[in-house]
Each structure stands twice: as C-alpha cells, then as structure tokens.
Amino acid sequence: MEDLVRDGYALTTDPKRVDFTRVHRWLAEESYWAAGRSHDLVARSIDGSLPYSVFNSADGEQVAFARAVTDGATFAWICDVFVDQDHRGHGLGKWLIDSILADLSDRGIQRFLLATKDAHEVYRRSGFVELAGANRFMEIDRRPTRNAILDTH
C-alpha cells in the first residue's frame, strides 16, 4: 500500500517506521487486552504481521497503530488497534480500519475478524457486525489478560 495522507496525518505499512517502544507502551501499559505484554512479544507479534502506523505529519510522531495477521489470501485478523489518547476524536481509528480493509481487500482477502470489548460502534461504521455462527468457533485461550478482555472475574 502506498502511504496515505489526510488532515495532517500519514498512514504507512512500512514496518521499519513502527516505533516499537511507543507501541509497546500503548499495548502493555494502556490497553486492557495486552496488559503486561513484554517488549519482545510485541516486537515478534509485529514482525509476524502486517503493521499499519499513523504518524503526525507535523512532528513525525507515531499516533496510532494496528496490525493484521493474515494468510494473504482468504482471511485477516485485525488486532492491536490503538490511537494515542491525545489524537482521539479526529477519526483516525475509522481511517485506520477503513484503510486496512481497503488494502487487504485489494489483495483479495474477503473475510475479516476482530475482537473488541468496548468499540463496537467504531467498527460497525466500517461494516463489521457481530460474529455469525460464533458457536462454530473454538479456542484455547491462555492469555493472562483473558478475564479483563472478556470482562469476567
């Protein structure tokens, strides 16, 4: 995907531009789903995915991030979506998600999945709906953050 520019922000898929320290802080310290995730684990997860990063054009600082785990042909899991607190409310989350969907759709991918505890309306605006046939899916979930993610105790 070519870099995109909008309203003082630039979106890129260049993995070399990811600010690993910043993304690690967002995920490990500010998210509920990746709380406590090690720097090494964040780095490996990004290395094994397609990263999407948004930068403030004025100062070059990374302000948002997401990644897609995909087979490159049929399926993509969009995860670790995060917009820095100071840049929320500018439509960056929707722009990021819509750009990911467009990029992956251009690659022929037709099925997308993501999970959220509290941003359903954000994702609905990009076309996501609740998982149909959820009872067909099975999992093994050993994450230490599982209870926080599912909002159970």
Q: What is the pLDDT of residues 106-141, one digit of tens each?
A: 999 999 999 998 899 989 999 999 999 988 988 888
Q: Give how far Cα 31 sits from Cα of 2, 35, 44, 84, 117, Å.
A: 29, 6, 18, 11, 11
Radius of gyration, alpha carbons of the chain: 15
Positive or negative, the CA dihedral 78, 22, 52, 49 is negative
Is residue 149's pLDDT more than 80?
no
CA dist 108 → 64, 65, 67, 70, 105 (Å): 25, 23, 17, 11, 5
Name the average pLDDT for the chain: 94
Instruction: List the structure tokens of 65.
Output: 């991030």
Question: Which neighbouring-strand residues pair with 6?
Answer: 9
pLDDT, position 114: 96
Task: List the end-to-end C-alpha distance of the chain, in Å, as a whole number.
Answer: 41
Q: What percent of the chain has pLDDT over 90?
A: 82
* Model confidence at 52: pLDDT above 70: yes
pLDDT at 146: 78
Under 8 Å CB-to-CB from 17, ≥6 apart: which residues? 53, 55, 62
Burial group, residue 127, by CB count within 10 angstroms (0-12, 13-18, 19+): exposed
Q: Which amino acid is at 43?
A: A
Residue-level pLDDT at 128? 96
Residue 62: pLDDT over 70: yes
Residue 113: name the closest of 53, 66, 69 by CA: 69
pLDDT of residue 153: 61
pLDDT tens for 1-34 read 889 999 999 999 999 999 999 999 999 999 999 9
CATH superfamily of the 4-150 domain: Gcn5-related N-acetyltransferase (GNAT) (3.40.630.30)
Q: What is the pTM of this model?
A: 0.91
Task: Locate the domains of the chain by residue range.
Answer: 4-150
For the segment 63-86, the average pLDDT, to the nearest whole number, is: 97
Q: Tokens for 59?
A: 């100062």
